């Protein structure tokens, strides 16, 4: 076990024992997710390159109980209890809370014939605020995995758990998450996610040799979880739907590209936000295919080219770096500055945008100088090197 895992497992064990005055049955690690390319095109049946984040994770020490109550204690927060027989959502007090995610996962599993029961859980997290690695999806996946282990002989397919997490976020938490988020949290290494059929996405895991490079998430210190950013992100989904509807389609994946390009170049369409975003979508799918081919053939030069092109398109066509009333913000400044520093590598927005984090992939030889210079802008603590996980749903059984 890597040192940081050992430290987090043992620390979470101790906190559980101190709080509940008994020994846990296990510690579960669930990961955040890393967006490499194509982020959030899955809303319109797109393509995504995803990975899970081993060192940005949630740790849950848990014990099965004989009652029908789930007790959750997260470090730094008050505990809460849920009666598994009551999954009614209190919209006024529970929406956008951890309690809503637990209730949503219980409801989803019960509706599909799975068993649920009581447990005590103590949670710690190594995910920093602003990382944009889907901590809510990771939390919901954690609940689903624990219920699978304790009450279903650990036989619930992780894909089912991921869809349950998405359902809980959409229907209980109140977040319009796509399936990319939860599937990224359970990805073993890198994955190509093809959402042409959104209910049955094709997931291709693959190896990519980035041993000479570091992956860095940089917290720009601008909040992307506020109301304005949430509404701005929803506008992307709405614009996708609008353009698709012009072709009597539900998703952009199924429109005729040649016809779209003809319309795009007519009159002033190329300057209209919805058309620009659809243009980004169409070309982002091409970049994802290029990047997958490049990574699997070790052509990193072309991968970084696609990565950087995606970053520029996010800013200029998708328009998800700054809000419409902003000319700049700290995320844009981080990306612009990073782009000026990188010689061998690439940078782009990470997550939903409109604030939050950027992702940098940079040659090991450049990394030290890059971090030192970027730290002057955001502080060293806001630059995190990410480790991609090969064991995203790791259980550590307690024998001591």
* Residue whose C-alpha is closest to residue 320's, from 237, 263, 395: 237
DSSP conformation class of 127? P
| Beta-ladder partners of 75 | none
Phi, psi dihedral angles at 183 (to 5 degrees): -65, -35
Helix (H, G, I), strand (E, B) or coil at 209: coil
3-state secondary structure of 219: strand
Helix or strand run (H / E) with residue 110: helix 98-111
Query: How, if at all, do strands 119-125 and 213-219 pair?
Result: unpaired
Give the pLDDT confidence of 82-99 residue by residue, as tens digits.
999 999 998 888 998 999
The predicted structure's pLDDT at residue 1 = 47
pLDDT averaged over every residue in the chain: 94
Residue 221 has a pLDDT of 82
pLDDT bracket for residue 2 (50, 70, 90) = low
The mean pLDDT of 49-69, rounded to a whole number, is 96
- List residues bridging with 146 in a β-sheet: none
pTM of structure: 0.94
According to the model, what pLDDT value does residue 75 have?
95
What's the mean pLDDT in 372-387?
Answer: 95
128: pLDDT strictly greater than 80: no
Instruction: Answer whether CATH 3.30.230.10 is correct for domain 3-206+388-397.
Output: yes
Percent of the chain's residues with pLDDT above 90 = 86
Inter-axis angle of helices 300-313 and 273-296, nearest 10: 170
Residue 21 pLDDT greater than 50, yes or no: yes
Q: How long is the chain?
A: 400
pLDDT on residue 223: 62
CATH number of 213-385: 3.30.70.890
Cα distance between the two ends of the chain: 17
Domain residues of the chain, as ranges? 3-206+388-397, 213-385
Classify residue 150 as left (phi > 0), alpha (psi -120 to 50) or beta: alpha
Distance CA 84, CA 115 (A): 10
213-385 shares the fold of 3-206+388-397: no
């Amino acid at each position: 076990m890597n040192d940081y895992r050992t430290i987090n497992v043992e620390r979470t064990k101790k906190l559980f024992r101190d709080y509940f005055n008994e020994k846990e049955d296990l510690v579960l690690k669930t990961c955040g997710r890393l967006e490499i390319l194509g982020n959030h095109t899955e809303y319109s049946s797109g393509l995504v390159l995803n990975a899970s984040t081993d060192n940005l994770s949630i740790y849950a020490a848990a014990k099965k109980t004989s009652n029908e109550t789930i007790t959750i204690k997260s470090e730094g927060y008050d505990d809460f209890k849920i009666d598994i027989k009551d999954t009614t959502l209190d919209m006024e007090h529970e929406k956008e809370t951890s309690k809503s995610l637990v209730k949503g996962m219980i409801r989803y599993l019960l509706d599909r014939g799975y068993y649920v029961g009581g447990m005590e859980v103590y949670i710690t997290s190594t995910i920093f605020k602003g990382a944009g690695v889907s901590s809510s999806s990771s939390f919901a996946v954690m609940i689903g995995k624990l219920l699978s282990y304790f009450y279903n002989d650990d036989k619930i397919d992780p894909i089912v758990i991921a869809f349950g997490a998405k359902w809980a976020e959409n229907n209980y938490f109140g977040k319009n998450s796509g399936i990319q988020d939860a599937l990224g949290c359970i990805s073993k290494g890198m994955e190509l996610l093809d959402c042409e059929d959104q209910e049955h996405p094709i997931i291709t895991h693959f190896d990519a040799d980035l041993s000479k490079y570091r992956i860095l998430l940089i917290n720009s210190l601008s909040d992307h979880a506020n109301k304005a950013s949430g509404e701005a992100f929803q506008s992307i989904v709405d614009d996708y739907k609008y353009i698709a509807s012009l072709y009597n389609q539900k998703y952009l994946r199924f429109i005729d590209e040649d016809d779209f390009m003809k319309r795009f170049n007519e009159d002033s369409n190329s300057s209209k936000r919805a058309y620009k975003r659809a243009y980004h979508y169409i070309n982002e799918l091409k970049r994802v295919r290029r990047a997958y081919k490049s990574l699997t053939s070790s052509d990193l030069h072309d991968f970084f080219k696609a990565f950087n092109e995606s970053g520029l398109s996010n800013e200029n066509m998708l328009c998800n770096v700054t809000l419409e009333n902003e000319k700049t913000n700290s995320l844009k400044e981080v990306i612009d500055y990073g782009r000026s520093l990188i010689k061998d590598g690439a940078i782009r927005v990470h997550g939903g945008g409109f604030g939050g984090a950027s992702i940098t992939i940079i040659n090991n030889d450049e990394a030290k100088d890059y971090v030192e210079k970027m730290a002057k802008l955001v502080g060293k603590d806001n630059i995190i090197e990410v480790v991609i996980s090969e064991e995203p749903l790791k259980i550590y059984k307690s024998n001591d």
